[in-house]
Amino acid sequence: MREWKEISLQEVVSKLGDGLHGTPVYDVNGKYYFINGNNLTNGKIIIKENTQKTNFEEYTKYKKDLNDRTILLSINGTLGNVALYNNENCILGKSACYFNVKENVDKQFIKYLVLNKHFQDYIDSIANGSTIKNVSLKTIREYPFNLPSLAEQTAIGDVLCSLDDKIDLLHRQNKTLEQLAGTLFRQWFVEEAKDKWEFVDLEYVTSKITDGAHQSPHTTETGFPMASVKDMHDWGILINSCRKISKFDFDELVRNDCRPLKNDIVIAKDGSYLKHIFVSPEDMDVVILSSIAILRPNYKYNPLLLNTLLKMDSTIEQLKNIVTGGVIPRIVLKDFRKFKIQLPPMEVQNEAAKVIGPIYSKCWNNITQIRTLTQLRDTLLPRLISGDLRVSKIRNE
């Protein structure tokens, strides 16, 4: 560690500033996005459905000095989201800051430095505001850390980047496989659907359509996970992001059937309804709030095929008719149970499942690899950034 020197973040950046305090003039036909801290996810700028657009004049007026060495960080509201700037046409809002890493410092090393728990805890501990937290640029500039040689920085960045690249590849592979499953489903059950196939209520192909707890138990510091829509992803639930409840409350909710079981279709019901839908591959060690619904199949419709049907854009469009609520849209379960679907004969389902089933199996294998690689990255990250573990030792092993 003698070659590592203690410095502050301001010493490794050529510029550090925040975004526009205010809003530009929006233009639905514009080609430039107005992004904030909530657009920064998993190292990338994510354009969401509600991301506002603006025009070239506004972009020219308010653009910041963003370049290929820029790292973006959320500093207002949700703290600590990180993204690398990648030549996106955007105006930066005040809930995000940017810093341009100097040429003699490895950009990837600094990205992982600010992703590291030590930095995340630092900005959380010094944030101001009780309702909406915010972090000053001065505080970010003053963050102290140990900087290794450029060669060591690059080696650390390469190790962590290689893991992230593998994770990203598996995510992209799953997107492709899902699209393939959807295309095959559409061919068999939409384009080649027979008029004689009957239409049935959704509840006809289920033993239960329900949702989670309508009353939220007290949060505990340690305990058992309880999930809401924010904890869902396309293939499951992020257990680490769930809040904790007591064993007594957890067991009570399990008895009340608020726990997804194997082959249940788990559905985001409130907010971004149907944003996430997945078939549970096993009994899950988590209970859910009422923002999540459980559709328990009775096997008159293959669960994987029914899941594929519910994820189709055309299905989501039809479901708008049974959504209520202005600010927070919700699927009404009593109407959801009566939602009409076309029921293919079981012999057709069985033939389709022989092809679509292995596609989903491959996706689940990818998810298992993603979890393993993510755990490895999250274990290595703090040890490499702190110098507790050297890259040479990893390579020798």
In the chain, where the domains are located: 5-147, 198-343
What gap in Å lies between CA 207 and CA 243, rounded to an integer?
29
Closest among 305, 315, 310, 308 to 348, alpha carbons compared: 305
* pLDDT for residue 393 is more than 80: no
In tens, the pLDDT along 58-89 reads 999 999 999 999 999 999 988 999 999 998 99
Q: What is the pLDDT of residue 394?
A: 67
Mean pLDDT computed over 119-137: 89
Class of domain 198-343 (CATH, top level): alpha beta
Helix residue ranges, H only, 54-149? 56-62, 107-115, 117-125, 137-141
What gap in Å lies between CA 48 and CA 51, rounded to an integer?
5
Q: Which residues pair with 265 in a beta bridge?
A: 279, 295
* pLDDT for residue 308 is more than 90: yes
Q: Which residues have C-beta within 8 Å of that of residue 334, sequence separation ≥ 6?
A: none
In the structure, what pLDDT confidence band is assigned to residue 147 with cuts at 50, 70 and 90? very high
**In percent, how much of the chain has pLDDT > 90?**
78
At residue 373, φ and ψ (nearest 5 deg) are -65, -40
SS3 of residue 336 by DSSP: helix
Q: What is the pLDDT of residue 259?
A: 95
In tens, the pLDDT along 188-213 reads 999 998 989 999 999 999 999 999 99
**Dihedral, CA atoms, 110, 111, 112, 118, nearest 10 degrees?**
80
In the structure, what pLDDT confidence band is assigned to residue 169 with cuts at 50, 70 and 90? very high
In the structure, what pLDDT confidence band is assigned to residue 175 with cuts at 50, 70 and 90? very high
At residue 34, φ and ψ (nearest 5 deg) are -100, 105
Q: Write the burial class of residue 196 (CB in 10 Å: 0-12 exposed, 13-18 middle, 19+ buried).
A: exposed
What gap in Å lies between CA 89 and CA 330, rounded to an integer?
33
What gap in Å lies between CA 267 and CA 311, rounded to an integer?
10
Give the 3-state secondary structure of 163-220: HHHHHHHHHHHHHHHHHHHHHHHHHHHHHCCCCCCCEEEHHHHEEEEEECECCCCCCE
Q: What is the pLDDT of residue 270?
A: 85
Which homologous superfamily does the CATH classification assign to the domain defined by 5-147?
DNA methylase specificity domains (3.90.220.20)
* pLDDT for residue 123 is more than 80: yes
Letter for the amino acid at 266?
A: V
* pLDDT for residue 396 is more than 70: no
Q: What is the pLDDT of residue 108?
A: 96
What gap in Å lies between CA 235 and CA 307, rounded to an integer?
12
Q: Which residues pair with 213 in a beta bridge?
A: 289
* pTM metric for this prediction: 0.85
Q: What is the pLDDT of residue 273?
A: 67
Mean pLDDT computed over 344-373: 95
Q: What is the pLDDT of residue 322?
A: 83
Letter for the amino acid at 228?
A: S
The per-residue pLDDT of the chain, averaged, comes to 92
What gap in Å lies between CA 7 and CA 26, rounded to an integer?
41
- Identical topology for domains 5-147 and 198-343: yes
Mean pLDDT computed over 21-48: 91
Q: What is the pLDDT of residue 320?
A: 82
